[in-house]
Structure 1
């Protein structure tokens, strides 16, 4: 009996130690990103992903970090490598967590970077893909703030080229802000970005 209790205690200690290492690593990686060190943040997150094979979040953040860097004009020469890393990581996240609306939002962002980099070549090719992935995400999670905002924001940017009315889309941006303010998750390090971008987008709507 003592042996069984010792084994259980050892297992529990090992589990909590692993959890603490995971949480420390995630916090450090996100901290590096916040300090403007995306390369270091991505590298650490990749190491965490290799250890956390059943957790979609580390690969999600590898994809998000590199996709975000793809929007940076200073990275124009690196964008293909950034998007390749992002897509590979996102594919791994999808295998772990299929039909995850948070992952779908990042997929939409990857396609959007491709459009931004070469609108003439990629606009017609990837715009339908963006709308397809956002529409699917909205069907799964209509109250997810990142889904609501990302879809409306993409459509607003498209409307600038077509001259379409954006009033209803601006209302959707406003709705997403309410969703952001009410959104909660008990999962540590669950995505919580987007509120600032939504508020900025709403300001531009009202100009």
Structure 2
């Protein structure tokens, strides 16, 4: 009995220490990111991902960083390197967490990066997939604000691109803002972005 208690306590300490190291690392990575030390933050997320073999969160943020860096890139070689890295880590994250609405939303973001870079080349390849990803994310988690806003924003911009009325999407965007306030996060390190962008789009939506 004593041996069992000792083993259980040792296991508890190991789990607690692992959680502590993960939380410390994630906290530091976010601090670096918020201080505009994006490369350092990305490197730290990579180290966390290497240590946390089955945790999708560090891979998610590596993907997000590379997606964000790609929005205004004009050089296709640089864009491809960044988005290939984003896709590699997103695929790893999905292998740990199937049917994860947050990962589906991030996949839609990466595909949107390609469409934004060259709509004529990549629109036919990815546009329908982006819509499908947002719809699947909404089905899996109807209250997810990033899925709700992403879907409405994508459809609105698609309508704008084709010269159609964007007003029908304004209510959906406005409703997505409310979801940001009521959505419960699983942890402080789970995705929690998008509200400011949703508010801005809602304010100018007509």
Provide TM-score, normalisation by structure 1.
0.93
The answer to whether the 8 A contact 2:73-2:79 is kept is no
Q: Show the 5 A alignment for 1:28-177.
A: 28-73=28-73, 78-177=78-177
The answer to whether the 8 A contact 1:70-1:76 is kept is no
C-alpha spacing 1:192/1:170, structure 2 compared with 1 (3 Å): same
What CA RMSD, in Å, does the superposition of the two structures yield over aligned residues? Answer: 1.6
| Runs of 4+ with >4 A deviation | 74-77
Aligned to 2:14: 14
Inter-partner Cα distance in structure 2 for 1:74 and 1:132: 27
Distance apart, 1:64 and its partner CA: 1.0
1:158-193 CA-to-partner distances (Å, cap 9, x unmatched) read 122212222221111100000001011233411111
Provide TM-score, normalisation by structure 2.
0.93
Unaligned stretches of 5+ in structure 2? Answer: none
Report how many aligned residue pairs link the two structures. 206
The answer to whether the 8 A contact 1:173-1:201 is kept is yes
The answer to whether the 8 A contact 1:67-1:83 is kept is yes
Q: State the secondary structure of the residue aligned to 1:18.
A: helix
Unaligned stretches of 5+ in structure 1? Answer: none
Aligned to 2:179: 179
Q: State the secondary structure of the residue aligned to 2:174.
A: helix
C-alpha spacing 1:69/1:36, structure 2 compared with 1 (3 Å): same
1:61-108 CA-to-partner distances (Å, cap 9, x unmatched) read 111111111113477652111101100000011111111110000000
